[in-house]
Each structure stands twice: as structure tokens, then as C-alpha cells.
Structure 1
Amino acid sequence: MGFPSPASDYVESRFSLDQRLISRPAATYFIRAGNTYYRDGIMNGALLVVDASLSPCDGSILVCRVDGEFKIKRYRKLPQPHLEDLETGRKEPLPNHDDDLTGPAAVFGVVTYVINDARSGEFDDCPVL
């Protein structure tokens, strides 16, 4: 029988992205971004981690179903609750609850994390240059 290793106090568990990025596995989805939104840090092809169980707060980025397609919008509360288009900044009304296409299922989920591929070199502080 020997002495315990002095390094045993510093042993770390394996790093798991699932544990760090996913709080509710049954309500979490991964979606690829189809467009680039520089101001929001989303590049074309970025992996979006979407939690369908969360309620949005002011400034949340949402995945919404619009005309049968998924679109990325920003949720704003003031001066009254509305959606904001990420490309143009235009205000859009919240989905109507009467129609199946724009009802409660229109807001698919809240984007919790954005994972960009840094190898492309496209992500820059100043995309205008």
C-alpha cells in the first residue's frame, strides 16, 4: 500500500460540450445558419444551438417559422413587443396566434449559442474593409 498521489487534487473531469451548451437536451436543436449577420456574430453556415423551451427576453435571437421557412429574428419588448429583421433592422409584428403558420409554433426557439468556423477567416471586427 502506497501514498496517494499529490496530483490527485488537480485531476479534472473530461470537458463535454453537451454539458456546457445544452441545459435541456429534449428541447435543444442544432440548426445551420443560411445567411451572414455580421452585427450578431453569425456567419453563413454557423451552427446555432436553439432551445425550444426558453421564453425570449428583450434582445434574444429567435428562430421563427415564416412562410414555411425558418428565419432568424431578434425579439424586442419596447416600445411594444415586436420582432426585428436582422438584415434590415425593420420592425415586424409578433406572430398572430389565430393562424397555424404564424401561431405559437411560429417561434421555434431561442438561439443560446452560435458556433462559427474560424478557419474561413471571414469573421472580422470590421467587415466593411
Structure 2
Amino acid sequence: MGDLRVFGNLAPHQTWMEQAGLHICTGKEDAPNVLICTYDNESEDPLERLTGTIVPMRDAMTYVQQNDVERVVLISDGAGYAGPRKVANVAKSATFNDVHGMGSLTSEVLANIAIKEGVEVLIVRGDPLTEESTRRTVIDALKRN
């Protein structure tokens, strides 16, 4: 319980995860939980900019397919929904402003790979570094039996 493999930008999140009693697995150690921390690296190069979203998600889904994983938690900044276009009567229509938003939305879609593997998936939109409620949601999900 609380053992997890992290994909994406671990550095800014490591302290609060360890303070919450989550054990971050490294090396060949297996973990029943996967946490994907997507981020915007703000690169000018569109392909390089996707390394903060699609690359960690792809790596995580490869891990899910090759290991016995029970739960996946994806932290997204919600950039896939930040654009100005809104579909009539659909408050959360997928809209994005830039390549990062496209990568964020694609990461959410790629979570279906884990669902097809029978894994519980939770997508959390927010910033656990600045939002206590987001941090609590992530911690609670990863500590569940």
C-alpha cells in the first residue's frame, strides 16, 4: 500500500509524496501503483514540448502493460480544456490553446490503455504543489487498498 512507480517530473513532488508516507519504487522494484506527473516544459520546439506529457504517459503505459499494476493516477494541469472553443451545452469540451494542451489531452486519452488492462484509473486535474485538495486526492487514491 502506498508503493508507487512515478513517471514524469518527480522532483517537485517528491517531498510531499514522501511526507505522505508514499514509497517511491526505483530500479527493478515492482509497484502496484503508478503516478504520472505531466508537466509543461515550455519548450519552443513543439516536439520537445510533448516530452512533458506524452513521453511520461507512454512510458507509464508500457510499464502497466508489462507489470501487475492495480491503480494509475494521472496528474494533469487541465490544459486540454483551456482553449476558447466550447461545444454548446458541454461545459468540459476538449479545447486546447497550444501543443502542451494537445499533449495533456492525449495523455488523458492514453489512460484508456490502463483501463483496457483492468487497472483502476484516476485523472486528477490541478497542481498538487499549490492545491491541498489536489494533493489530498492523489494521496488518498494511492493509499487505497
Larger Rg: 1
Normalising by structure 1, we get a TM-score of: 0.25
Normalising by structure 2, we get a TM-score of: 0.23
Higher helix share: 2
Q: Which one scores higher on RCO, CA 8 angstroms, separation ≥ 6? A: 2
Higher strand share: 1
